[in-house]
Chains A and B, each alone.
Chain A
Amino acid sequence: MSEKLEQDICRAIATTLENMAFMEVGKEVDEAVRYPAEEMVVSRLLIHDPIQGELYLLMPKPLLSKIASSVYILPAEELSEKMLLDMLGELINTVAGLFLNAYLPEDQTYNLGLPEKVPAGQEDSPFEMKQWDFQVENDLFSLALAGDGFFIAERS
């Protein structure tokens, strides 16, 4: 896998959270908290073309609440499940756009699906997949990219 793909993924997630929630994203650190699967919320977005693939955003509910609380300017207890899921969907949508804009040539258009909730632990894909772990305020979350085209292009 090339440095470019990894850099584009990292920049997309960092820009999204910094611009939307004023939160700084860091690489995984030893002391960061890893949450059990039952506390994770997962959203999937299909990438239709020019490369077929899937993007997954796996986030612990407490972190998603912190982000949504910052974006909505509301106390976490006033945020509904629907608002949290919508927040996650908007995050993955924005990350996907920023990533593909950086990764693909400027003159290349692309098509995305709509974000959908996936049960935690079922984020498997028929495609080759790579997962990156990040932390915000010591809470770990992950972004996974699946799609043979992304990795075949990287190898050739």
Chain B
Amino acid sequence: MKRIVIADDSATARMFICRCLEIIGLGEATLVEAENGREALALLKEEDTDLLLTDLNMPVMDGATLLKWVKSSPRLHDLPVLVITSAGNPAKEQELTALGAFGVLNKPVSPAVLMDALKPILS
């Protein structure tokens, strides 16, 4: 895992996610932060990325729109996307999985839960 983009409009949430990634042993990866989907998309186009972690509810471009852009891009189509949101439930998870997300986690996320969700990618 070399480069991870984290999209969330809350600096607190981004810091929290970065800390969880460090705890589960991904501190060596380059963690790049974006405040909204549009910024994240620009970062994804800039350099090859191994994982995108995104919130849903963000200004400018929300997480669902970002997910649609990523999955419709020939270059980014295979990028694993994990949604970390406060507004996740089974119905939302189904909707986002259909759009191409490989998982949906509810805030507040813990290192153990994040580790579990990332297992398929890490292995």
Contact = CB atoms under 8 A, between A and B. Distances in A.
A146 interface: no
B107 A94 contact: yes
B59 to A, nearest CB: 6
A96 interface: yes
Interface stretch (A3-11, A24-32, A110-118, A123-131): A110-118
Interface string B82-121: 0001111111100100000000001110100000000000
Contacts of A16: 108
Contacts of A108: 89, 91
Interface string A79-123: 000110011011001101110110010111111111000000000
A109 B13 contact: no
Contacts of B57: 93, 112-114
Given A71-B12, A71-B16, A109-B95, A100 B108 contact: no
B53 to A, nearest CB: 15
Contacts of B10: 86, 89-90, 93
Nearest to B19: A73
Contacts of A110: 87, 89
Nearest to A95: B86
Contacts of B88: 97, 101
Interface residues of A, number: 30
Contacts of A19: 108, 110
A20 interface: yes
A15 B108 CA distance: 9
Nearest to A111: B87
Given A86-B10, A89-B10, A107 B91 contact: yes
B9 interface: yes
A111 B90 CA distance: 14
8 contacts: A19-B108, A68-B12, A71-B15, A83-B11, A90-B12, A97-B107, A100-B87, A101-B89
Instruction: List 7 A-B pairs, minimum CB-CB distance, nearest first.
Output: A97-B86, A19-B108, A90-B12, A90-B10, A107-B91, A109-B91, A94-B107
Given A87-B12, A90-B10, A97-B87, 13 more contacts: A20-B108, A72-B15, A93-B57, A98-B86, A101-B89, A106-B89, A106-B90, A108-B91, A109-B87, A110-B89, A112-B86, A112-B87, A113-B57
